[in-house]
Amino acid sequence: MKNPMFAEADEHPSMMTTPSVASRLIAAARELSAAVDALRFDTPVSHVYNPLDYAWAPHETYLRRFGDSRKKVVFLGMNPGPFGMVQTGVPFGEVAAVRDWLGIECPVGQPARPNPKRPVEGFACARSEVSGRRLWGLFRERFGTPEAFFADHFVANYCPLAFFDEGRNLTPDKLPGAEQAALLAACDEHLRALVAALEPEWVIGIGAWAESRAAAALGTGGPRLGRILHPSPASPAANRGWAQAASGQLVELGVWPT
C-alpha cells in the first residue's frame, strides 16, 4: 500500500528538489578527486599533489560561492601551478588574488606525500603565481568585483593534479602515454559534468592544450570553443602585455564586447 505521506510527491514529480548548480559541481569534483587518486604515476614523476584533497575547504568554498549559476563563459586552464592552486585550492589561485579579491581564505592541509622542494604553505605562501596574478588581475580590472565577473564567467582547471620531477614542475602533456590516457579519461568526464551543470555558451582554453582537451572531451554540438594566450611568464608573448593580448582575443572571438 502506498504510504500517504509520500503520495503527493509521487503524484507530482516536479515538486522533487533539483540539485543546485554548485552541488552538482561539488559532487563532480569529489568524483574527479577519487578517480585521480586511484591513478599511479612512474618516473619521471616523483611527487603528485591533489589539491581537491588537502585543499578541499577553499575549493569547495569557491564552488559554492561562485559556481551556483549558469555561466556564459568557462575559462579552462591546464592544471595547478605550484604557487597557485597547489597552495589555495582555487584555479590559478594566486594567494593575494584569492584572499583579497575573491575573499577566500581557508585552512589547507598537506599532500599525502609532500615534496620538500615544493612545500605546501597554503595562504601563508609568500611566492606569487604569475599566471594567476595576470589572469585574476585582468578580470578585476575589467569587472571590478567578483560578483560582476562570476555573473557570466567561471574559471576551472582541466586536470586537478600537480606533478613534480623533484623540484621541477611537470605538465600533464609530458606524462607517458598510458598514464596520460587514464588521466585524460577522468578529466574528460569531469569536464563534461562541469559543462552540463554550468551550460556555458563558450569554453575558452587558457592556452592551446586546454582548448584541444575541451575539443576532445566535448566534441561538436556543445558550447563554442576558443582560446586565449596562456599568461605564463615562460611565454615571451605573454610577457609583452598579456592582458591586452588576451582581451583582444576575446573581443575578436565575440566573447567580450569591445
Residue range 135-146, pLDDT digits in tens? 999 999 999 999
* CA 189 to the chain's CA centroid: 14
Residue 17: band (very low, low, confident or very high) from pLDDT cuts 50, 70, 90? confident
* Cell (9 digits) for 138: 585582468
pLDDT of res. 18: 87
Using alpha carbons, select from 188, 225, 180, 186 the residue that is nearest to residue 207.
225
The domain locations on the chain are 42-253
CA angle 62–157–241, rounded 5-degree value: 100
Q: What is the pLDDT of residues 37-81, one digit of tens each?
A: 999 999 999 999 999 999 999 999 999 999 999 999 999 999 999
Please report the pLDDT score of residue 16 as a whole number.
66
State the pTM of this model: 0.93
Contact status, residue 234 vs residue 132, Cβ threshold 8 Å = no
Topology given in CATH for the domain delimited by 42-253: Uracil-DNA Glycosylase, subunit E (3.40.470)
- What pLDDT, in 10s, does the model give residues 74-109? 999 999 999 999 999 999 999 999 999 999 999 999
pLDDT at 183: 98
Q: What is the mean pLDDT of residues 197-221?
A: 97
Q: How confident is the model at residue 2 (pLDDT cuts 50, 70, 90)?
A: very low
